[in-house]
Each structure stands twice: as C-alpha cells, then as structure tokens.
Chains A and B, each alone.
Chain A
Amino acid sequence: GENVEQHPSTLSVQEGDSAVIKCTYSDSASNYFPWYKQELGKRPQLIIDIRSNVGEKKDQRIAVTLNKTAKHFSLHITETQPEDSAVYFCAAGLPGGSGYALNFGKGTSLLVTP
C-alpha cells in the first residue's frame, strides 16, 4: 500500500521567515496531494492541494510543489506568522469509488516565534 513519509517532525522558525515541509510517497498511482493544518484540539482543515497534472500551486503565502518522477512534494509557507503555528499533515490520495482515500504523513509541528 501507499506509504507517506514526512519531514521534519518539528520545525521552529522566527516570524517572517519561511518554512518548508517535505513529503515522499511510494505509490506512483497516487495523483492527489493535499495538505491539512490541525490546530491543537481542532479538526484538520485543508489549506492547499495539488493534483499530479500540475507541478506547482500557490495561494497567497502558501505554495506546494510536486515532483512526480521523484515522488515527493513540499509545502512552502512564506512570511510566517504566529497563527501559522500548528501541526501540518501531507497526504497522498488514490482515486477510487466516489473519491480519494487519503494516506497521511505523521505530521510536522510548526512553531512560529514572534
């Protein structure tokens, strides 16, 4: 089955700096790669996603890049703010039925210090 590895497990940056989180996946059939943000005690929420027919996608301060050949994808957050502090999960999705079953990484705990 699909195996998603995520690094680093913890990341501490100063406010205004950039943060990068990297993930690799094993199943070349995966074609959907979302990133979820989970604040302490809250539900995971989608922040950005990318499909395998696209190499990069940006949404304001957040960007995701995908390298299908190498089977890795990354989340980039620029101009970080304290409210970006949370756990971030990458996932890889295989299409099936009416949607995607997602395989999540173990998460990256991001701390942005003022």
Chain B
Amino acid sequence: ETGVTQSPTHLIKTRGQQVTLRCSSQSGHNTVSWYQQALGQGPQFIFQYYREEENGRGNFPPRFSGLQFPNYSSELNVNALELDDSALYLCASRPSGTNTGELFFGEGSRLTVL
C-alpha cells in the first residue's frame, strides 16, 4: 500500500463553481505532484510542490492552483470550473532522500462538471 490518500473520491460541481481536492502523502514524501486524467487519456502534469513551494508547472491556466502544507499534505484548487475540467485528478508523491523517480499515486478524485 502506497499510503497516498485523496479526498473526496467523487464529486459533482456545476460550471463556474470552485473545487478543492485534498491529498495526504506518505510520511517522508516531501514532493507532491498533481495530474489530470481525462477519460481514455494518459495523466497530464498540472504542477509539483517541494517543501511547500511550486517548483514545476504544466500547461494549465492560473485558475488551477495548489498548496503544500508543512506536514506535506496538499490541495488542488480549481476556480471557475469548465465542462472540460471533468476528469480524474491524481495526486502523486515521491519519497525524499532517494534517487528513484517513482511516483506513488493516490486513487484519485473523480470530478464531474455539469
């Protein structure tokens, strides 16, 4: 078991609303990244946080924002929701102090925008 947990597992929002998704990474994992996975597609990199600072970002607009807290838990916030934001949002963490590139994914939060 990877120990990465996400909440909520499913949620439904309407266009224009805002949503906050949460991730709790395993103890000792100080890097967290978020990915968007549309149906039938591969995960797309949104951004990465290391020691509470964003240190990498994919091709997503500023209405996608995030936070990482001192306990290494993390949030993904999406403002002004659009229909195309409907997707599975995956949080992934990486252990510190290792040379591995392996990402440990959570089960995801499935967002439906109506």
Bound complex: CA of A102 vs CA of B36, how far in Å?
12
Instruction: State how many residues of chain B have any CB contact under 8 Å with chain A.
Output: 28
Number of A-B contacts (CB under 8 A): 69
User: Which residues of chain B come closer than 8 Å to A55, judged between CB atoms?
Assistant: none
A43 near B48 with CB under 8 A, answer: no
Tell me the minimal C-beta distance from B89 to chain A in angstroms.
Answer: 12
A101 near B45 with CB under 8 A, answer: yes
Q: Do A42 and B101 contact each other (CB < 8 Å), given the known contacts A97-B50, A101-B45, A106-B41?
A: no
Tell me the minimal C-beta distance from B8 to chain A in angstroms.
Answer: 16
B48 near A99 with CB under 8 A, answer: yes
**Which listed residue, B33, B59, B90, B101, touches A32 by the CB 8 Å rule?**
B101
User: Do most interface residues of chain B lie in helix, strand or loop, or is the interface mixed?
Assistant: loop
User: Among residues 26 to 54 in chain A, which have CB atoms less than 8 Å away from a CB atom of chain B?
Assistant: 32, 34, 42-46, 49, 51
B56 near A96 with CB under 8 A, answer: yes
Bound complex: CA of A44 vs CA of B40, how far in Å?
13
User: Which residues of chain A come closer than 8 Å to B96, judged between CB atoms?
Assistant: 98
User: Which residues of chain B come closer than 8 Å to A44, judged between CB atoms?
Assistant: 43, 90, 103, 105
| A-B contact list, 19 entries, CB within 8 Å | A1-B59, A34-B101, A42-B107, A43-B107, A43-B108, A45-B105, A46-B103, A49-B102, A89-B43, A97-B55, A98-B30, A99-B33, A99-B94, A99-B101, A101-B56, A101-B58, A102-B43, A104-B35, A104-B43
